[in-house]
Structure 1
């Protein structure tokens, strides 16, 4: 067996120590490239991209190809300070693999090593994608036409860690797995002055408070309760002392829906509310809604049913059917162009994703790798 459990654990720990933010993953890229180059065979092609320098693609030409299967792993980390105390914790202050991309990369490396020894029947492309957490690496890759010609998978697969599932359990569904998201940024331009003379100012703090509360009515009054949605404000900044009303207030948040139609409707309603409150208070309000890259992760029903059937019928795989989640993932953008499936991989931790205390159970690595490897081999045996 060319891949061992210890290999996967070593990859994960090495990568965990060198987290890097979106589009800055140069050490991570070099680690991945050095490993893959050491396994290079005649039927392998390694591709780097000048316009997206931390991206890495590896193609395995099949022995009797009828299709091309794609597998994607994200590689960036988060601006989170690690609090695990692990002997292999992050060496970068304020940066951590708090979303488990170290796990994602380890499994992808395991697949690369395995198929470098056992040439696949169909073509296989493994895509190490930068900038999932921010800056829309999936969209950048598609817009740069990385998946054209011989580099175009017929179907794409990928995983995402799930702390709430037992280590090594796989989970997905045959519909929308993750929500689409829009990033909301607002600046309220008021007129500041002395706090003792509120009638002479246009208080951006009060106006921001009114606006934030009105935004909460979108989910409760404008969204079908069966469909659901999220409008959450995660940051607000304004003012500098207790007796001065400031000129401006800034706040930011996230908007999420399980459908693109729902996301579009929510963002339209946000703009209407902003315009109304600006008019009512005679102020200018700037609003930015960044959409279009973190689209809903819509699993292809046919491919998902196929994958679910395989995993349910394989006694060596622990599988649970998933329910939709409001998590966002830019793999959704790729799936708008190439059909595919995303799965959860259970990592058994009582800390949430994006927590500085996230400490995944490495017992997830070996069953996760084997489930993915066995599925790819089986999928290639099916023909078209």
Structure 2
């Protein structure tokens, strides 16, 4: 089993080599190098031409009743690191600012344990590319990565959080992460001279009206105790102060705590844009792209079992947590395969996706120990 110092060394090496979505070739090579040093008696390794940076490792159970999946995402973010750490990113403009180096290291720690102590049930470790963008979980599922003996009956995964003390496990029944939809809207009218508005069709005015109406979707179409967000974060229109803009482009995001809520917001957004098109005699094109970023809705039975184990284990510091409006593509996999996602605290003053994010490495051993213990108990259920 990997020691605490080995876990730290692995994490630091992964931190040096962040790669963007679907480009995790060096990361995959390093993972394979580490895994091939484990005892191989119970292990089988699988790669996939259709998703070349993905990696699956199967651990054969001694008396399997089920196959348990454990997912760790691999990709970094397009962020220039500003931590000044001796093991800072060696790839300019790229950083593990979301803790995926921690996710992979904890998974390797769990895998190393079960490579030496054969589990009762089968285990599938899924090292997943492209979580931050390009929805690698959905790609893997749609490209039939999980077929036959490689299909888990249930799935577990963690995400680090700087908001909990290092090593703390956090979870909740219900939704852990919101689902997200990318919004792109284009409005087309007629450009013209600022002095002759009657001869043009001003899309800045139309865009302003649209933005104002969008803000009523949550306040008037969604249950106020349920929660949702629509944010328009980008607006482009016009070229010069004395010309009327005939085109406006808006970009934004939808967040919702259930798939039905997201679909309701999507519907209302289409209806509102159609109304603006008619009101302003404009052509309006809307694109809504959710991909694999569905709400992370934890399975009730599995999550209750997970929470009870963590609460009753005197060696684990457990906290109930609130849902987060951030997105995670593990939600798509949980919509296909029952499972649970949870938090691992890493106690940092910098937030996720920050150039100064520096999680506490003491959380690595605590995370491995807690999850190994749960998996062993879960196999006896």
- Scaled by the length of structure 1, the TM-score of the pair is 0.95
Structure 1: gaps of 5 or more residues: none
Q: Is the 8 A contact 2:157 2:342 kept in 1?
A: yes
Please report how far the alpha carbon of residue 168 of structure 1 lies from its aligned counterpart in structure 2 after TM superposition.
0.8
Aligned to 1:214: 213
Q: Do structure 1's residue 288 and structure 2's residue 278 form an aligned pair?
A: no
* Secondary structure of 1:127 counterpart: strand
Q: 1:291: how far off?
A: 2.5
State the match for 1:313 in structure 2.
Answer: 312
* Within-5 A mapping of 1:91-106: 91-106=90-105
Matched residue, 1:65: 64
Q: How far apart, in 2, do the equivalents of 1:202 and 1:95 lie? A: 43
Query: How far did 1:217 drift?
Result: 1.0
| Residue 50, structure 1, aligned to residue 13, structure 2 | no
Q: Distance in 2 between matches of 1:300 and 1:372?
A: 17
Match of 2:246 in 1: 247
Cα distance, 1:205–1:83 mapped onto 2, change above 3 Å = farther
Structure 1 segments (4+ residues) deviating >6 Å: none
Instruction: Indicate conservation of the 8 Å contact 2:19/2:75, yes or no.
Output: yes
Q: Which moved more, 1:344-353 or 1:150-159?
A: 344-353
Shift in alpha-carbon separation, 1:239–1:147, aligned structure 2, 3 A: same
Q: 97-106 or 263-272: which moved more?
A: 97-106
Q: Distance in 1 between matches of 2:117 and 2:175?
A: 33
The answer to whether the 8 Å contact 2:230/2:255 transfers is: yes
Give how far 1:264 is off. Answer: 0.7
User: Which residue matches 2:22?
Assistant: 23
Report the Cα distance in structure 1 between the residues aligned to 2:356 and 2:61, rounded to whole angstroms: 42
In 1, distance between residues paired with 2:226 and 2:17? Answer: 40
Please tell me the root mean square deviation across aligned C-alpha atoms, in Å: 1.5
CA 253–40 in structure 1, closer or farther in 2 if over 3 Å, else same: farther
Equivalent in the alignment of 2:141: 142
- The 2-side partners of 1:233 and 1:349 are apart by 29
CA 1:160–1:336 in 2, change beyond 3 Å: closer, same or farther? same
**Alpha-carbon contact 2:131-2:328 (below 8 Å) kept:** yes
The answer to whether the 8 Å contact 2:103/2:158 transfers is: yes
The answer to whether the aligner puts 1:35 opposite 2:50 as a matched pair is no
Unaligned runs of 5+ in 2: none
Distance in 2 of aligned mates of 1:302 and 1:87: 44
Classify 1:98/1:198 alpha carbon distance in 2 versus 1 (closer, same or farther; 3 Å): farther
Q: Is contact 1:174-1:302 (8 Å) kept?
A: no
Give the total of aligned pairs. 381
* Change beyond 3 A, Cα 1:93–1:200: farther
1:127: which partner in 2?
126
Q: CA deviation at 1:311?
A: 0.7
Residue 280 of structure 1 deviates from its aligned partner by: 0.9
Deviation at 1:232, TM superposition (A): 1.2
Counting only pairs closer than 5 Å after superposition, residues 341-380 of structure 1 correspond to structure 2 as: 341-380=340-379
Corresponding residue number in structure 1 for 2:265: 266
**CA deviations over 1:22-58 (Å, ceiling 9, x no partner):** 1111111111112112225132110001100010000
When normalised by structure 2's length, the TM-score is: 0.96
Give the CA deviation at 1:198: 3.2
Instruction: Give the deviation of 1:237 after TM superposition.
Output: 2.6
| Alpha-carbon shift at residue 292 of structure 1 (Å) | 5.1
CA distance in 1 between counterparts of 2:93 and 2:208 reads 31
Give a deviation string over 1:103-128, Cα, whole Å, max 9, x none.
11111111222222222221111000
Counterpart secondary structure, 1:107: helix
The answer to whether residue 192 in structure 2 is matched with residue 193 in structure 1 is yes
